[in-house]
Amino acid sequence: MKHKTLAILPPEVKIEMKKNDRIENKQEQERTETLNTQNEMYSRLLTFVQKRKIYLEIQDIEKTNATLRRIGYPNGTSSEMTLDELAQALGVDAILLSNYIFTQTKSVGFGIASAIIFFPYGTPYVIMMATLPTNSADFNVRLYDGASGVLLYSYNDKFGRLNRKYVFLVDKATQKIGKKSPYYRK
């Protein structure tokens, strides 16, 4: 790879709502998780750069986001831009796009009911583990060449962990993405 710089665009984040959640809370949480996810991806990939596992400069996300706001991303003029034009506007050789769908697959109430039904004589630890919520993240990451806009790399996966925040799931996903990317050196 002849790339020297990479920009991590803000990911598209969707959070599957529960019945009792309000739409305003969902939209605000999605905005917050978008920034958290972008920060976590940047931090993890920067760790690979510092350990010399990836030989690539990753553009600071503040600079990326400021440039994107200036050109009207994701609405406005940028929606009419091709990926190579977007890379040129950002001044990078490659663009990393991603989308995440976060869900809470098992609620605390379901866990309590499961603990009562399946572990009526279980130890307190087993009952406590059954009551913890399980969060999961489906993600799709795509790496595009900045000069041509051609897709170079795509990775899809799903992660789930007991009682973990979404940022933890993004960290694990980004770690896996970094190791499987064309930039990773063993």
Domains of the chain, start order: 5-180 (3.40.50.10610)
Instruction: Calculate the average pLDDT of the chain.
Output: 77
Instruction: Find the DSSP H helices in 5-92.
Output: 23-50, 61-71, 83-90
Mean pLDDT of 132-154: 83
Residue 137 bridge partners (DSSP) = 102, 159
Cβ proximity of 162 and 134 under 8 Å: yes
What's the pLDDT at 115? Answer: 52
Most confident of 13-22, 59-68, 103-112: 59-68
Answering whether pTM is above 0.95, one says no
The residue written with tokens 């994701």 in the block is 74
What's the pLDDT at 146? Answer: 92
Helix (H, G, I), strand (E, B) or coil at 114: helix
Q: At what angle do helices 83-90 and 61-71 cross, to 10 degrees?
A: 120
What's the pLDDT at 57? Answer: 92
What's the pLDDT at 150? Answer: 92
What gap in Å lies between CA 5 and CA 7, rounded to an integer? 7
Cβ proximity of 16 and 136 under 8 Å: no
Mean pLDDT of 7-33: 79
Per-residue pLDDT at 42 exceeds 70: yes
**64-78, 136-150, 166-180: least confident range:** 166-180
Nearest partner of 1 among 56, 83, 45, 64, judged by Cα? 56
What's the pLDDT at 44? Answer: 87
